[in-house]
Amino acid sequence: MSLTAVLISSPFLGPAVWSGVEAELREGFGTPATTVAVHDSDASDPDAILAALRERLPPGEELLLVPHSNAGLYAPALALDAPRRRVVFVDAILPPPNGTLPVAPPGLRDALAAEADEDGLLPPWTGWWPERVVDELFPDAATKASVEAGQRRMPLAYLDARVEVPDGWDRAPAAYLAFGDAYADERDDARSRGWPVETMDGGHLHMLREPAAVAAAIIRLAAA
């Protein structure tokens, strides 16, 4: 594949979630790859996050954007920045063809509201869920520690924001890779648009458990 793969981390997580897949793309498939994240910035609203991601993209138009989770919000604008960009969403939010959409569904925002501290900051992402559930996402304690070290504490206000979706973005070639059924609605939406779709049996951070298989799926979907 001649494209450069740009693995985009959720604003709640750092680049460690993609480290294994990045290595597999480079070494196993000979595909140029890099990871883009905003974990070391102070961007905390959609406009600032989009600007930070734009600044960190590698130069050139021929990029394969691979957003994970909440990073799916920013794929439309990034895809429209250049005509030869493709997108493979990985267990990610899938924006509509146009309009706006919330950063988080109301149920999640309401569930987390009581967790914000006196400064309005949420716990790190792995603190949102029961420890047993979180531990199952990781292959080992060292990997979990590496990911947790790169997490950001985002403001609760971020979950109240809405993201503008540029009209026509989904004319760019796109595909969807789901891990299990957590994003079943998004997967079905992608399929209804006629996109290539695959499902791997795993949790939301399945790329940490099977980086080679995830890298291979990304390559297949990009080629399709």
Task: For residue 122, tell me if it sits in a domain.
Answer: no
Q: For residue 84, is pLDDT > 90?
A: no
101's tokens: 């959409």
Q: How large is the average pLDDT for residues 143-172?
A: 93
Q: What is the pLDDT of residues 114-129, one digit of tens each?
A: 899 999 999 999 999 9
pLDDT of residue 35: 97
Provide, rounded to the nearest whole percent, the portion of the chain with pLDDT above 70: 100
Task: For residue 17, tell me if it sits in a domain.
Answer: yes
Task: For residue 155, tell me if it sits in a domain.
Answer: no
Q: How many domains does the chain have?
A: 1
Domain containing 35 — which CATH number? 3.40.50.1820
Task: For residue 133, tell me if it sits in a domain.
Answer: no
Q: Is the dihedral of CA 94, 21, 8, 71 positive or negative?
A: positive
3-class DSSP state of 194: coil
Q: How large is the average pLDDT for residues 96-105?
A: 92
Task: For residue 139, tell me if it sits in a domain.
Answer: no
Task: For residue 219, tell me if it sits in a domain.
Answer: yes
Which residue from 9, 3, 147 is spatially nearest to 67, judged by alpha carbons?
9
Domain limits for position 48: 4-100+166-223
**Predicted structure pTM score:** 0.95
List, edge to edge, every strand of the sheet that includes 4-8: 33-36, 4-8, 63-69, 86-92, 174-179, 197-200
Q: What is the pLDDT of residues 14-45, one digit of tens each?
A: 999 999 999 999 999 999 999 999 988 888 89
pLDDT of residue 218: 98
pLDDT of residue 49: 96
Q: What is the pLDDT of residues 178-212, one digit of tens each?
A: 999 999 999 999 999 999 999 999 999 999 999 99
Task: For residue 180, tell me if it sits in a domain.
Answer: yes
Mean pLDDT of the chain: 94
pLDDT band per the 50, 70, 90 thresholds, residue 1? low
Task: For residue 73, tell me if it sits in a domain.
Answer: yes
